[in-house]
Amino acid sequence: MRSYQSPFLLAYDCWKTGLQASYLMAETQTVIGLRVLGMAGMWHVPKSENSRMVQEKAPAFAASAMAAGYAAMNGKRPDQIVNAAIHPLRRKTISNAKRLRGRGPRLG
């Protein structure tokens, strides 16, 4: 555990946690937007996308809860626990956003 000699280090760690949460929110919004466009027929998505978005939720949130619980049981600081919870979710949102962005719009 880091011992803070300076309040700036604590502020930096809290800022990093907030930044990770912001990235998660932006990536999530991207995925939601592309999936809605796909449902409207304006973005190329596979037919299995609707069921995929439902099926991926439980494993992603379970991994997030497990990571946060493990970090908490090991005595991590609150910012480290939040980062542990965010990491599995970001892994999923990054891969979904990349996959969906690569499919492209329907132009005709």
Query: What does the pLDDT look like over 11-65, one tens digit per residue?
Result: 899 999 999 999 999 999 999 999 999 999 999 999 999 999 999 999 999 999 9
Q: What is the pLDDT of residue 9?
A: 87
List of residues 6+ apart from 77 with CB closer than 8 A = 1, 2, 13
Q: What is the pLDDT of residue 8?
A: 87
Q: What is the pLDDT of residue 107?
A: 83
Entry pTM? 0.87
Q: Where are the domains of the chain?
A: 7-101
CA 21 to chain centre: 8
Q: What is the pLDDT of residue 1?
A: 57
3-state helix, strand, coil in the chain (%, to 5): 75, 0, 25
Q: What is the pLDDT of residue 88?
A: 97
Q: What is the pLDDT of residue 3?
A: 65
